[in-house]
Amino acid sequence: MRRSIGVLAFSLVTFGASAAFAQAESIGRSGTVAFGAERLFSFYKSNLAFEAPNGDESDWDQSGLGFGWGGVGYQFPFNMARLGFDYFLTDQLSIGGALGYASVDDEDDGPSGDFESFLLAPRVGCFPGVSDTFGIWPRGGFTYHGLDPDGDSNNQWGLALTLEGMFTISPAPHFAFMLGPTFDMDFVGKQERGGPNNDESCKLRYRSFGIQVGLLGWF
């Protein structure tokens, strides 16, 4: 069973899109509050570089399609569905972030086992816009991600550079689809080892490139 804030994100976006009290305006205006259900559907290509305490190194590549929190895996945290929130300080300039959480219960006792995964991604962006229907929203920031497996062993954490080049398509006031490329790359990351050698840690570096789809609302 997989749980995520994706359901809450979808509800909030739908509420924002149907807000009748706000006059329809472009998303890039000063004072606009935007929130979205992000990375709900994705095509991704990811890599994990692993270095053991003894210096042994290995790489693991994975590519595929992800839908909602079904794209969450033990090895690749960046494809997790998340709730985004952004505020436009001035026309076109936004500041905000995204929050993701998933709890996975592997009922089949697969290789990933049970775990909880979390990420926090502060960012800044620029929305120059194209028209009332189409827009461009490049964003950049950092992503902190953590993973806590069942049994309190092999905990992971990392800090990554995150770049997004989102295109928006707005078929109705205060509602839009988001589609665009994303790039996430760890510059530091560790896995704390459990067992008798719990004072040792492994180096981890995740890297992921994808095409992501999400929903957006604003007021």
Predicted local distance difference test score (pLDDT) of residue 67: 76
pLDDT digits (tens, 9 = 90+) for 157-170: 999 999 999 999 99
Nearest to 42 by CA among 200, 183, 144: 183
DSSP-assigned states of every residue in 201-216: EEEEEEEEEEEEEEEE
CA 118 – CA 79 distance, rounded (Å)? 12
Tell me what the mean pLDDT of segment 190-217 comes to.
82
Domains parsed from the chain with CATH numbers: 2-218 (2.40.160.20)
For residue 134, what are the β-bridge partners?
A: 169
CA 154 – CA 148 distance, rounded (Å)? 8
Q: Given pLDDT bands bounded at 50, 70 and 90, which one contains residue 16?
A: very low
Q: Where is pLDDT greater, at 124 or 3?
A: 124
- What is the sign of the dihedral through the CA atoms of 113, 187, 83 and 129? negative
Predicted local distance difference test score (pLDDT) of residue 122: 98
pLDDT digits (tens, 9 = 90+) for 84-142: 999 999 999 999 999 998 877 766 544 455 778 899 999 999 998 778 889 999 999 99
Rounded to two decimals, the pTM is 0.81
15-33: b or e for each residue (b if 16 or more CB lie within 10 Å)?
ebbeeeeeeeebbbeeebb
pLDDT digits (tens, 9 = 90+) for 26-79: 788 999 999 999 999 988 898 988 888 887 888 888 888 877 655 555 557 888
Give the distance from CA 87 to its chain's centroid: 18
